[in-house]
Structures are given as structure tokens and as C-alpha cells.
Amino acid sequence: MTPFDRLCSRFRRIAILEEAVGMLYWDTAAMMPPGAADGRSEQLATLRELAHAMLVAPETADELAAAEALAPDEDPRRAMQLALMRRRWRRAVALPSALVAELSRARSRCETAWRSARTENDYAIVAPTLAALLDLVREEAAALGSALALAPYDALLDGYEPGLRAADCNRIFERLEEFLPALLDRVMALQDEQPAPLSLAGPFPVERQAAFARELMANIGFDFDHGRLDTSAHPFCGGSPDDVRITTRYDEGDFLKAIMGVLHETGHALYERGLPADLRRQPAGEARGMAVHESQSLVLEMQACRSREFTGWMAPRAEAAFGGTGDAWSGGNLHRLVTRVDRGLIRVDANEIAYPLHVILRFRLEQALLAGDLPVADLPGAWSDGMASMLGVRPADDRAGCLQDIHWYDGGFGYFPTYTLGAMMAAQLFAAAEAAEPDLRRHLGAGDFRPLVGWLRRHVHGHGALLSWDEILRRATGKPLDVAVFRRHLERRYLDEHRPRTA
């Protein structure tokens, strides 16, 4: 075996360990009995420590050096594969093995405490474990920053989207803040001038919601031989490309929340399944980063499945699934419901205009937490003040405030900005797909996702991590990330499509 072959073998074994971590994480969220939390914490810590040890072993550095010293290969995929292996190794050797294991245990402890705090609606339950986890995250960020010559927060951000920096996010977010609050006001004023959409009368039994969700997933192209749908406190998509695990949560008073959440996670799942099979379990065969990943969930949920065409197709099927009758179940009314704009408190239920403001708040709060400028004990108050400033609303309790997201309680500092970058990418990718497939909306109106998914397979999924997020976007759309494209999408959907038409 050549040094490169040995590296591929090593990274394949590491990937298998990481897949096992992913499965245990899914089980923790969806199936694990509460009393197993301590044992699960040790299982996860041990597997993560083993994967880290394999990556930082002296043989890995020797094999990297030997492979890089060989004559340049004409295959650009091999060169990128080596670069990605080197990147993984550089990040890993920056962290002591003991820190990796302790971080894993602290994440498990804090996530378990978060579940209790969320159930009890009491931030005080999780605050001490969050403070302990944050100390370790600071240690991780400092070690990575020192090794990579990055600011601590940038080092964390780089782990979720390679090459992304806080300065990039600040520049984009400042441009969004220039028009989003005013656009939100305009859209809500337009809504106030018109009759409200008709409400859908529940209750909607969970088992019917789950059955309808599976029907939609299968129609879109989700492969149930390689995945499943379950329930958890916070919706997510996990597992591995050959065993994709989706979770959602249900509200018997509003089935659209769960359905739209499932469609969102199905976008993630399609991306995972569409990654290059010949590079499976190699760094180059993984998802590029979370901004790209979020673009794939949002191009499906927000761009395609909240379109007038798709809701028109979905309406009679929803009516049949839940035994509904009357005008409330029409495609037009369903479209108005899923594009209704408000100043809601919950990020995962937020509309496209308000959503980036939720993310910007979290982006700023997590930087303040990491820097020590915001004490953990003061997070609920800072959250409440931030929501009032950003969206003009205040949460009535912790569950609707700083306990609504799992990310920080699982150590995920630096993740949030990728949501808004993903939303912007999704608008730009969908516009390019429409230009390339002129009948795209007609197909969506027939429940046919093959043209859209096929285009995404060719222009996004099939690249894996071989291209940067910027390169993927430039090749697919002909331009870098463009705030103007996102703004045009929002104005067209929420102003133009909802203005009364004159004869």
C-alpha cells in the first residue's frame, strides 16, 4: 500500500467510529431511557477519544508527509483529498486527547440537563453545567486558534464551515439588518390590510402527522431502506449517508410545524444520500460544511415546499390525511398559512424574513459568552433584551427564550451563522435551478421533485467536500453569495405574491 492508500484506510476506520458516535447521539435523542445518560456519556467519550487517537497518531503525520512528498498527481481529487486530510489532522493535533474526552462528557451532561430544564421551563437547572461546558469550549477554541492562527471564535466557526470568519458574517449580517426590519413591517402591514388565512381545525393526532410526513418524504425521494423518521425534543438529521436518521417534534394543534420541520430535515437527508459514493468515509466525500448543508434543507423546505405550486399539490393530500373539509384546506389558504409572517419567538418556526434576525441575535450572544463578556447567569435577560431589540417581542419564559435551541448545550458554538448563510445560498441555488429547468415549478405543482433533486445532485451533492462553499455557489449560479438575490426572493414571495390582484 502507498502512503496515500494507508491514509485512506485510516480515515475510513475513523469515519466508522464517527458513524457509531452519530448513531449513539441519535439514540440519545430519540430512544434512550433517562437512566442510561451516564453510561451513554462514557460510550460517546470513549469512541470520540479513540477516533481522535487514530487521527493524531505519529503514523498519520508520517503518512501525510510521505504522500505529500510524492510527485504531484494529475488527479485534482487526490490533491484535495490530501489537503482535507491535512486539515483534519491539524485541527485534531491542536487538542489534547484528555480535552476531547472531557468535552464529550461535558456535552452529554449539559444536553441531559438541558432536556430537564426545557421540560421544567427552568434555565437554572442547566446553567451550572452550561458554565462548565463553556469553560471547556473556551479551552478548545483557544487551542485551535493558537494552532491555526485564528481568533478563538473564528476557530470554532471554521469547524462548521471551512474558511468562514466572523468578519464575513458581520459584513453580511449588517447588510441584512439594513432592510429586514423594514421589510418585516411592510409585510405585516400588507397582511393586516387583508383577511387572515383560515385556521385549520385540529386536533391532529401524532400518528396521522407521522404517516403524512412519511408519505411526503417518500414522494420527494427519501429512501426508507436507508433511513427513518423518529421523534425528539429538537428536530435534527443525523446518522450516516447509508443510514440517515431524521427526527421531528409534533404539535397536535398545528400539523404544519412538524411537516415543515420534516421537509427541512429531508433536505439534509437528500444531501447526505447524494454525496459521492466512491469517496464514502473519506474527508473529500463528506458534506462540505454546515452552510452548504443548511442550504440543502432550506432549498427544499423554504424554496420548494412553501411555494404556491407545492402547497397546491399538498393541500388535497393533507385534507385526506386529516379528514379536513372546507375552504381552509384549499391550496391557496395553505400557501398563506405557510408564508404567514409574524414576530414569533421560536427560531425553528420563524418565517424567512424574521429567521435571519433570530440567527444574528444568537451569533452575537455566543460571541459574548465565549469572550466572557456575558456571564452564563445573565443569558436569559440578554436573550430577552435582544429579542425585544431585534423583533419587538419578549419571551414569557425560558422555554420560549434561551432554552429553545439545543446547540449551546451540546457545545455547538459557531454553528448558528451557517443557518442564514444557508438560507441565502438556498435562494440563489433555487433561482439558478429555475433558470436551468424552466418547468421546475410546474413539476413541483405535480409533486415531482426529480428535476430539482437531479439539479442539486449535479451542482451541489456530487461535489462532496471537493469544492469550497463559495466555489460550489459560483459554479452553480455564476456568482458569489449575493444579498440582493435573497432580498428579491423575499420581496417577491411576501409582497408581490400577496398583493391583491386587480382585474
pLDDT single digits (tens) 123-166: 999 999 999 999 999 999 999 999 999 999 999 999 999 999 99
Cα–Cα distance, 18 to 21 (Å, whole number): 5
Average pLDDT for residues 384-404, to the nearest whole number?
96
Single-letter residue type at 119: T
Average pLDDT for residues 345-372, to the nearest whole number?
96
Say what the pLDDT of residue 503 is: 41
Which is the catalytic residue, given 63, 265, 301, 352? 265
pLDDT band of 76, cuts 50, 70, 90: confident
Q: Which helix (H) or strand (E) holds 246?
A: strand 243-248
Mean pLDDT estimate for the chain: 95
Residues 6+ apart with CB under 8 A from 271: 287, 292, 293, 296, 297, 456, 460, 461
Say what the pLDDT of residue 153 is: 98
Tell the residue number behind the cell numbers 449588517, with chain if given.
174
Whole-angstrom CA distances from 270 to 12, 245, 362, 455 are 22, 11, 27, 12
Average pLDDT for residues 59-78, to the nearest whole number?
85
Say what the pLDDT of residue 498 is: 75
Cα–Cα distance, 108 to 324 (Å, whole number): 42
Q: Does the pLDDT value for residue 410 go beyond 70?
A: yes
Say what the pLDDT of residue 316 is: 97
Strand partners, 236: 247
Average pLDDT for residues 336-352, to the nearest whole number?
94
All three cell numbers of 492, joined, read: 417577491
Average pLDDT for residues 479-486, to the nearest whole number?
96
Say what the pLDDT of residue 445 is: 97
Say what the pLDDT of residue 377 is: 98
Strand partners, 246: 229, 237
Tell the residue number behind the cell numbers 452564563, with chain if given.
376
How large is the C-alpha radius of gyration of the chain? 23
Residues 6+ apart with CB under 8 A from 365: 374, 379, 382, 383, 386
pLDDT single digits (tens) 434-467: 999 999 999 999 999 999 999 999 999 999 999 9
Per the CB < 8 A criterion, the answer to whether 132 and 106 are in contact is: yes
Q: Does domain 171-498 have CATH number 1.10.1370.30?
A: yes
Residues 6+ apart with CB under 8 A from 407: 362, 413, 415, 416
Domains in the chain: boundaries: 3-149, 171-498
Average pLDDT for residues 254-263, to the nearest whole number?
96
Specify whether 193 is catalytic: no
pLDDT band of 482, cuts 50, 70, 90: very high
Q: Does the pLDDT value for residue 502 go beyond 60?
A: no
Whole-angstrom CA distances from 263 to 46, 279, 299 are 34, 27, 10
pLDDT single digits (tens) 198-213: 999 989 999 999 999 9
Average pLDDT for residues 188-207, to the nearest whole number?
95
pLDDT band of 290, cuts 50, 70, 90: very high
